[in-house]
Amino acid sequence: MPPTRNKNAKSSIEIEGRIELAISTLKKQEISSIAEAARLFNVPYTTLYHRANGRPARISLRANSTKLTETEEDQLVQWILDLAKQGIPPRPASVENMANHLLAIRDPTSPPPRVGQNWVSNLIKRRTELKCCYSRPYNWDRAKCDDRKVIQQLDIQLRTPTPPASQSSNSRQLHTQVDKIKNLMGQELESSTQGLMEGFDQIIKACEYGMVNATIMKKQYQDIFATNEKEKQKCTRSKR
């Protein structure tokens, strides 16, 4: 029986093409409603609604097994390498915890999404630059239990909902706001904004790296603070 992957991929590309056309007509105000555009271009209404409001195309995202976006994974790998240069590469449990934190920041649902049991080991296999940091074999089950009390304390913070910010706090909000700006600019200067649009794309990429890096640094500070508090409590109990 012939494989169906090629057929599915071709179908996805065709649907994506119709979605792009629908979004283009909406931006040009040639069609007044998303529902009408979805019907005319024969695409799912929900998909078109989310895409028109800034959600990236599924076809442009990486496989589900990677979980993190390319920017998030690059920054996470850089964080690991920076600590490794100092002679203190993070434990697999800490890497997993940081990845889960990035997912929770990007998708603040309840409960937040989490990486799989073998995600860290797969990351090390996939990113060859990390093999020098983890050259010795790990007992993954044991490593995952490291600093469990500290991680549980941090998980409580992750489950606490925060009020929506007026400024972009993650890449999804950033893309939504920039798309709105592009739409407004396109209505006024459609033929002369190509250079500005390319500049916006570069700014978005830089902002994404900055946001993810700031998130990692904040999380690292929280981990250190929680660990120090734990040690202070131990010292206080030992003096009694």
How much is the mean pLDDT over the chain?
A: 74
Domain ranges of the chain: 5-60, 64-165+204-239
Question: Which pLDDT does position 33 carry in this prediction?
Answer: 92
What would the mean pLDDT of 117-139 be, rounded to a whole number? Answer: 80
Question: Which pLDDT does position 149 carry in this prediction?
Answer: 47
Cα maximum dimension of the chain: 76
Express as a percent the part of the chain with pLDDT over 90. 16
pLDDT digits (tens, 9 = 90+) for 2-16: 444 455 656 777 888
- Please say if the pLDDT value at position 162 is more than 80: no
Lowest mean pLDDT among 21-30, 106-115, 184-193: 184-193
What would the mean pLDDT of 103-108 be, rounded to a whole number? Answer: 83
Nearest CA to 68 out of 117, 94, 118, 102 is that of 102
Question: Which pLDDT does position 77 carry in this prediction?
Answer: 92
- Please say if the pLDDT value at position 196 is more than 80: no
Question: Which pLDDT does position 36 carry in this prediction?
Answer: 93
Question: Which pLDDT does position 234 carry in this prediction?
Answer: 77
Kindly report the pTM of this predicted structure: 0.47
Q: Which residues of 2-31 are buried (b: 16+ CB within 10 A; e: fewer)?
A: eeeeeeeeeeeeebbebbeebbebbbeeeb
Euclidean distance between CA atoms 170 and 152, whole angstroms: 24
Euclidean distance between CA atoms 11 and 63, whole angstroms: 17
pLDDT digits (tens, 9 = 90+) for 110-127: 788 889 889 999 999 888
Residue of higher predicted confidence among 229 and 104 = 104
- Please say if the pLDDT value at position 161 is more than 70: no
- Please say if the pLDDT value at position 223 is more than 60: yes
Residue with tokens 């799989």: 116
Lowest mean pLDDT among 120-124, 175-179, 188-192: 188-192
pLDDT digits (tens, 9 = 90+) for 143-160: 555 444 444 444 434 444
pLDDT digits (tens, 9 = 90+) for 29-75: 898 899 999 999 999 999 899 888 887 766 555 555 567 888 888 99
Question: Using an 8 Å Cβ cutoff, are 34 and 45 in contact?
Answer: yes
Chain centroid, CA 216 distance in Å: 12
